[in-house]
Amino acid sequence: MAARGLFRAVIMGPPGSGKGTISERIVKMFALQHLSSGDLLRHNIHGKTEIGLVAKSYIDQGQLVPDDVITKLILKELNTMRSNNWLLDGFPRTVPQAIALDEAHQINSVIDLNVPFQTIKDRLTARWIHPGSGRVYNTEFNPPKVSVMTCAGRGGGVFKFYDLILT
Ligand SMILES: Nc1nc2c(ncn2[C@@H]2O[C@H](COP(=O)(O)OP(=O)(O)O)[C@@H](O)[C@H]2O)c(=O)[nH]1
Ligand SMILES: Nc1ncnc2c1ncn2[C@@H]1O[C@H](COP(=O)(O)OP(=O)(O)O)[C@@H](O)[C@H]1O
């Protein structure tokens, strides 16, 4: 299905290759809408949707979410972005996902991040995520401004916690 005049791109690469970080810059620079499969899954998990509950059971075990589940979720979301230029991040990750995407949309550009395994290992060791916002940092490449902060706890109390969680 070709969407005339619209720009559709995919960014691919292994976990830790920098998809999220680079996507953030590309979408700002070229005014694209960013759709990240990981963010969408986390949003569903947070909202305790049916798909979120299924996805959580796989993610908690370090497995990929089944192709049919993630494909349905992403294609449904892309349907709401019919008139947008977009950058898809984290999907497709398997051949069946790539075939499903190819059948549904014409992709103009694919960015494949080719990063050496050792570099990925080093980056992931230094990767930190702010749990509240999902922002990704790197203690060497892109350090956060604040490492410890105070905030209101769930029970209304105030407690001090480390702002970032190592992934
Ligand atoms: N040194 C360096 N670190 C990077 C670069 N891009 C991303 N990172 C860091 O590498 C880690 C993984 O990046 P992320 O965007 O989460 O990768 P993703 O899993 O592919 O989405 C994070 O800590 C980033 O801050 C880069 O170009 N250079
Ligand atoms: N296209 C996909 N197919 C299957 N599972 C996915 C897909 N995208 C994301 N997931 C699941 O969500 C998790 C988090 O994804 P993501 O935020 O992209 O992190 P990372 O790229 O660092 O693994 C993955 O480990 C995987 O279990």
Same-domain check for residues 121 and 146? no
- Which atom of ligand 1 is found nearest the CA of 89? 21
Give me the DSSP letters along 2-40. Answer: --TT--EEEEE--TTSSHHHHHHHHHHHHTPEEEEHHHH
Same-domain check for residues 166 and 93? no
The reported pLDDT for the residue numbered 4 is 62
Q: Nearest bound ligand to CA 26? A: 1
Dist. CA 157 → ligand 1 center (Å): 34
The CATH number that applies at residue 35 is: 3.40.50.300
Question: Average pLDDT in the 97-105 region?
Answer: 97
pTM (predicted TM-score):
0.83
Q: Kindly state the tokens that stand for 54.
A: 């299924």
How many domains does one find in the chain?
2
**What residue has token string 């720009």?**
7
Does residue 160 form part of some domain? yes
Does residue 1 form part of some domain? no
- In this structure, the residue with its CA closest to atom 28 of ligand 1 is 141
**What residue has token string 């749990």?**
131
Same-domain check for residues 112 and 130? no
Is residue 82 pLDDT above 70, yes or no? yes
Could you tell me the residue range of the domain that residue 144 belongs to? 126-167
Same-domain check for residues 157 and 106? no
Instruction: List pLDDT tens digits, range 6-18.
Output: 999 999 999 889 9
Same-domain check for residues 23 and 92? yes
- What ipTM did this prediction achieve? 0.91
Question: At 162, is the pLDDT very low, low, confident or very high (cuts 50, 70, 90)?
Answer: very low
Instruction: List pLDDT tens digits, range 31-75.
Output: 999 999 999 999 999 999 999 999 999 999 999 999 999 999 999
Same-domain check for residues 59 and 24? yes
Does residue 117 form part of some domain? yes
